[in-house]
């Protein structure tokens, strides 16, 4: 049982179950973006539908931008650009709402804010399930982005029910929930979409929305999550930790980029090393998330992958990353603090060749080799950076410090998809991954400089 408080193990079990269901519904859409955008593209062109105002606006804006930058009008790349806008919009809204809802949970309690978040997700998936137009689908993603605070509230619950001595174990269970959901969710979404596609092919009914089945799955799972949270998850905040007027300043420091990168919320403005780690994390995750987001479009265009094959791809990378994270997590924990920087440097060195290989992957063998290298780098970099940042934080403010670190990650994931999709759209997949791989040298060089400076200072001492 985790924690020494009465019933903490049961509370943690319910929390992890709720979080897993939340992440399952969230991840089932990941391999479906190419087919979703293509569906709305076809629907907009059907005479009986009378067009789709929002999709046509996106398309005309794309053509206008192409005429300005003098690139050819490649219709098949438009889906990447549109999905990138939607992906970044969702992540940006999540970046804004998550710290606000997390802070409100310090005033009004964990359970009410978690229920509010789940109800918002429920509304989002309902809108997705009935989204016959591109506009309704975008509204569903906006509602979902504004409601996605389950992770920040879940982490707050872990800090409530687990004493400091066993809090690491509680966070490990949160990591397990992520891993399981990111393996199973995309595969389930792809399965339902593929089954729906087969039904459409058999009935020749082109009006059927191919993504209704995964949307209904997400809706059903979120409803189960709501029931579990309402009936079985108790309130874990014994007394308010913040006053409402304190939330404004606290939230500002978690959202404003300058305050974020200065770690102002924990009073670390003068800690140069901590600020450098934050910059490296942003540059790395900004480029990484942008290229990662476009991966399903790369396979769709080059290898004509459908939803089912996309699901298998996500399953392969998910299982491999879980295995490697399990191996490297123990490896990273055993590395002395003074060796964490060189280890992070090793991971950063591996990510560039991974994306360079992807740019040249015109056969599936090379693609999967690049994905294996990509997974190795992913399993090393973030755990090492997390350890390095944690070591720079005062024990009394470690939670807030790591909250800033997560917010920097959320900001990078809000900017990354639109950047990666824009490069893909303007230059095509080969140049997109080639340039992205080369740009990933930047965080490597920053980490190398810090590692050299740290080594020199140790030698001087």
Same CATH topology for 1-46+64-255 and 258-461: the answer is: yes
Architecture of domain 1-46+64-255 in this structure: Up-down Bundle (1.20)
Per-residue confidence (pLDDT) for residue 46, from 0 to 100: 75
pLDDT score of 206: 46
Structure-block tokens of residue 362: 């015109």
Q: Which residues contact 77 (CB under 8 A, 6 or more apart)?
A: 301, 424, 425, 428
Model confidence over 124-152: pLDDT tens digits?
A: 999 999 998 999 999 999 999 999 888 88
Least confident of 63-77, 131-145, 356-370, 383-397: 63-77
Could you report the per-residue pLDDT of 206-244, keeping only the tens digit for each?
444 556 888 999 999 999 999 999 999 999 887 776 666
pLDDT digits (tens, 9 = 90+) for 447-457: 999 988 876 65
pTM (2 decimals)? 0.84
Q: 191 CB contacts (<8 Å, ≥6 apart)?
A: 308, 311
Give domain limits for the chain: 1-46+64-255, 258-461
Pick the more confident residue, 114 or 65: 114
Whether the predicted pLDDT of 461 surpasses 60: no
Percent of the chain surpassing pLDDT 70 = 83
Q: Please compute the mean of the pLDDT values over residues 24-39 and round it to a whole number.
A: 88
Please classify residue 17 by burial: count the beta carbons closer than 10 Å to its beta carbon, then call 0-12 exposed, 13-18 middle and 19+ buried: middle
Residue with tokens 């790395």: 284
Q: Closest by alpha carbon to 33, among 75, 82, 77, 74?
A: 82
**CATH class for the domain made up of 258-461:** mainly alpha
> Please, are residues 361 and 354 in contact by the beta-carbon 8 Å criterion?
no
Residue 168 has pLDDT above 70, yes or no: no
C-alpha span between 230 and 233 (Å, rounded): 6
The closest of 99, 104, 89 to 142, measured between CA atoms, is 89
Question: CA-to-CA distance for 281 and 443, rounded, in angstroms?
Answer: 8
- Sign of the torsion angle spanned by Cα atoms 261, 267, 270, 276: negative
Whether the predicted pLDDT of 70 surpasses 70? no
Per the CB < 8 A criterion, the answer to whether 56 and 44 are in contact is: yes
Alpha carbon distance 430, 250 (integer Å): 43
- The predicted pLDDT at position 222 comes to 96
List CB contacts of 35: < 8 A, sequence separation 6 or more.
193, 197, 210, 211, 306, 307
Residue 178 reports pLDDT greater than 70 = yes
Q: Kindly state the tokens that stand for 227.
A: 């029931």
Q: Write phi, then psi, for 164 (nearest 5 degrees).
A: -55, -35
* Cα gap 308→314, rounded to integer Å: 10
Count the neighbouring beta carbons within 10 Å of the beta carbon of residue 243: 9
Tokens coding 306? 């459908």
Kindly report, residue by residue over 266-315, the tens digit of the pLDDT: 776 567 888 899 999 999 999 999 988 999 899 988 998 887 888 888 88
pLDDT, position 316:
86
- 198 pLDDT more than 80: no
Average predicted confidence (pLDDT) for the chain? 83
Between 70 and 201, whose confidence is greater? 70
Structure tokens at 129: 């399930």
pLDDT value at 2 more than 50: no
46-63: buried (b, 16+ CB within 10 Å) or exposed (e) per residue?
eeeeeebebbeebbeebe
Q: Residue 252 — very low, low, confident or very high, per pLDDT cuts 50/70/90?
A: confident
Q: How far apart are CA 146 and CA 96, in angstroms?
A: 8
Query: Which range has the worst mean pLDDT, 155-159, 169-173, 260-264, 325-329?
Result: 325-329
pLDDT tens digits, one per residue of 309-364: 888 888 888 888 778 766 665 565 566 777 788 888 988 998 999 999 999 999 99
3: left (phi over 0), alpha (psi -120 to 50) or beta: left
pLDDT at site 1:
43
Give the model's pLDDT for residue 30: 87
């Amino acid at each position: 049982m985790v924690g020494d408080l009465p019933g903490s193990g049961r509370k943690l079990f319910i929390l992890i179950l709720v979080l897993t269901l939340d992440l399952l519904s969230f991840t089932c859409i990941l391999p479906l973006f190419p087919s979703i955008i293509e569906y709305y593209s076809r629907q907009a062109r059907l005479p009986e539908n009378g067009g789709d105002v929002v999709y046509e606006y996106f398309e005309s804006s794309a053509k206008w931008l192409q005429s300005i930058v003098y690139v050819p009008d490649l219709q098949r790349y438009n889906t990447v650009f549109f999905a990138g806008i939607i992906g970044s919009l969702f992540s940006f809204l999540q970046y804004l709402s998550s710290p606000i809802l997390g802070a409100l949970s310090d005033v009004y309690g964990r359970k009410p804010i978690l229920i509010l978040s789940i109800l918002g997700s429920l509304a989002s998936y309902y809108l997705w399930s009935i989204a016959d137009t591109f506009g309704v689908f975008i509204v569903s993603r906006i509602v979902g982005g504004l409601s996605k605070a389950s992770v920040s509230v879940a982490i707050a619950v872990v800090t409530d029910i687990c004493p400091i001595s066993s809090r690491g174990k509680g966070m490990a269970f949160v990591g397990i929930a992520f891993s399981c959901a990111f393996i199973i969710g995309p595969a389930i979404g792809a399965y339902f979409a593929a089954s729906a596609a087969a039904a459409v092919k058999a009935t020749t009914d082109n009006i059927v929305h191919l993504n209704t089945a995964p949307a209904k799955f997400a809706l059903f799972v979120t409803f189960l999550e709501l029931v579990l949270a309402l009936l079985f998850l108790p309130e874990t905040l014994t007394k308010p930790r913040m006053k409402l007027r304190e939330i404004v300043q606290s939230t500002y420091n978690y959202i404003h980029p300058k305050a974020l990168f200065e770690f102002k919320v924990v009073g670390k403005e003068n800690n140069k090393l901590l600020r450098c780690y934050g910059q490296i994390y942003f540059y790395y995750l900004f480029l990484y998330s942008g290229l990662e987001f476009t991966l399903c479009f790369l396979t769709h265009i080059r290898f004509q992958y459908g939803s089912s094959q996309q699901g298998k791809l996500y399953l392969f990378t998910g299982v491999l990353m879980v295995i490697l994270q399990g191996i490297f997590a123990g490896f990273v924990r055993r590395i002395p603090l003074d060796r964490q920087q060189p280890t992070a440097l090793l991971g950063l060195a591996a990510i560039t060749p991974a994306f360079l290989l992807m740019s040249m992957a015109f056969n599936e063998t090379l693609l999967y080799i690049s994905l294996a290298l990509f997974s190795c780098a992913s399993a090393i970099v973030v755990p090492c950076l997390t350890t390095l940042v944690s070591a720079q934080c005062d024990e009394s403010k470690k939670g807030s410090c790591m909250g800033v670190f997560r917010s920097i990650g959320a900001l990078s994931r809000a900017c990354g998809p639109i950047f990666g999709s824009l490069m893909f759209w303007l230059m095509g997949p080969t140049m997109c991954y080639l340039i992205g791989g080369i740009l990933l040298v930047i965080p490597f060089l920053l980490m190398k400089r810090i590692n050299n400076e740290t080594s020199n200072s140790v030698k001087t001492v």
